Structure 1
Amino acid sequence: MRYSLRQLEVFLATAQHDNISRAADTLAMSQSAASGALRELEQQFGVRLFDRLGKRLRLSELGRQLRPQAENLLAQARDFERSLAGEEVSGRLQLGATLTIGNYLAVPMIAAFRARYPGADIALNVANTATIAEQLASFELDVGLVEGEFYHPDLETLHWRPDELQVFAAPGHPLAGKARLADRDLLGLDWIVRESGSGTRQTFERAMHGILPDLNIVLELQHTEAIKRAVEAGLGVGCLSRISLVEAFARGTLIPLQVPGRDFQRQLNIILHRKKFQNAALKRWLQLCREAVSDTLGADTDTQRGPGAGPDSPD
Structure 2
Amino acid sequence: MRYVQLRAFHYVAICGGFSRAAKELFLTQPAISDQVRKLEEDYDILLFNRHKKQVEITPAGEKLLEITRRLFDSEDQAQELLTESRATRTGTLHIMADSALHVLKILARFREKYPGVGVTISQGNTATVTESLFSYEADIGILGELPPSRDFETVALNSSPISAFVACGHPLAKRSTISFSDLSGLPLVMREAGSKTRKKFEEAAAAKGFAFAPAITAEGREAVREIVASGAGVGFVSAAEFGDDPRLRRIPLEDEAQMMMDETLICLRERRGGKLVSAFLAIAQEQANEMESDG
TM-score band, normalised by the shorter chain? 0.7 to 0.9
For 2:5 and 2:91, the matched residues in 1 are separated by 20
TM-score of the pair, normalised by structure 2? 0.81
What does residue 32 of structure 1 align with?
Answer: 30
Query: Which deviates more, 116-125 or 237-246?
Result: 116-125
Matched, 1:87 2:58: no
Equivalent residue, structure 1, for 2:144: 147
Q: State how far apart, in whole Å, the 2-side matches of 1:223 and 1:174 are.
A: 25
Q: How many residues align?
A: 288
Give the Cα separation in 2 of the matches to 1:243 and 1:32.
Answer: 53
Equivalent residue for 2:171?
Answer: 174
Give the AA of the match of 1:254: L
Call closer, same or farther: CA 1:10–1:82 in 2, change over 3 Å.
farther
Aligned to 2:195: 198
After superposition, the C-alpha distances for 1:63-114 in whole angstroms (9 at most, x for unaligned) are: 145224413432233224414xx4363523222112xx22x23455445423
Q: State the alpha-carbon separation in 2 of the partners of residues 221 and 118 from structure 1.
A: 36
1:124 aligned counterpart, secondary structure: strand
Cα distance in structure 2, aligned partners of 1:114 and 1:225:
25
What residue is the counterpart of 2:57 in the other structure?
A: 58
The residue type paired with residue 173 of structure 1 is H
User: 1:105-184 maps to which residues of 2 (within 5 A)?
Assistant: 105-106=102-103, 109-148=106-145, 150-151=147-148, 155-156=151-152, 158-161=154-157, 162-184=159-181
- Corresponding residue to 1:219 among 196, 216, 219: 216
Cα deviation, residue 221, structure 1 = 1.4
Q: Secondary structure at the match of 1:281?
A: helix
Aligned to 2:248, which of 234, 254, 278?
254
Instruction: Select 2:276's aligned residue among 260, 281, 288.
Output: 281
**1:179 to 1:235, Cα distance in 2 relative to 1, 3 A:** same
Gap regions ≥5 residues in structure 2: none
Alignment of 1:225-244 (within 5 A): 225-244=222-241
Q: Which amino acid aligns with 1:165?
A: I
Q: Deviations over 1:16-73 (max 9, x none)?
A: 1232222222223221232344445566x74647233434141526514522441343
Tell me, in whole angstroms, the C-alpha distance in 2 between the residues paired with 1:183 and 1:95: 35
SS at match of 1:35: helix
Task: Give SS of 2:214's match.
Answer: strand
User: For 2:27, what is the secondary structure of its paired residue?
Assistant: coil
Q: CA RMSD in A?
A: 3.1
Query: Could you say what secondary structure the match of 1:190 adopts?
Result: coil
Distance 1:106 1:182, change over 3 A: closer
> Which whole-Å CA distance do the structure 1 matches of 2:292 and 2:207 have between them?
33
Q: Is the 8 A contact 1:94 1:123 kept in 2?
A: yes
Residue 124 of structure 1 deviates from its aligned partner by 2.2
CA contact (8 A) 1:72 1:277 kept: no
Quick check: 2:155–2:281 contact (8 Å CA) kept in 1?
Answer: no
Closer, same or farther in 2 for the Cα pair 1:188/1:258, shift >3 Å? farther
Residues 9, 264 of structure 1: alpha-carbon distance in 2 compared, 3 angstrom cutoff: same
Kindly report structure 1 stretches of 4+ aligned residues shifted beyond 6 Å: none
1:258 maps to a residue whose letter is P
> Which residue number in structure 1 is paired with residue 13 of structure 2?
15
- Equivalent-residue separation in structure 2 for 1:39 and 1:81 (angstroms): 33
- State the Cα distance separating 1:239 from its structure 2 match: 0.9
SS at match of 2:83: helix
How many angstroms does 1:258 deviate by?
2.9
CA deviations over 1:191-235 (Å, ceiling 9, x no partner):
111111122222222232246763252111123333233333332
Report Cα offsets for 1:263-292 as digits up to 9, x if no partner: 220211233335446311111121122233
- What is the one-letter code of the residue matched to 1:116? K
Matched residue SS, 1:22: helix
Contact 1:144 1:270 in 2 (8 A): yes
Are 1:189 and 1:215, in contact at CA under 8 Å, matched by a contact in 2? no
Judged with a 3 Å threshold, the aligned counterparts in structure 2 of structure 1 residues 160 and 49 are, in CA distance, closer, same or farther, namely farther
Q: Deviations over 1:123-148 (max 9, x none)?
A: 22222221222222222222321224
The residue matched to 1:290 in structure 2 has which SS?
Answer: helix
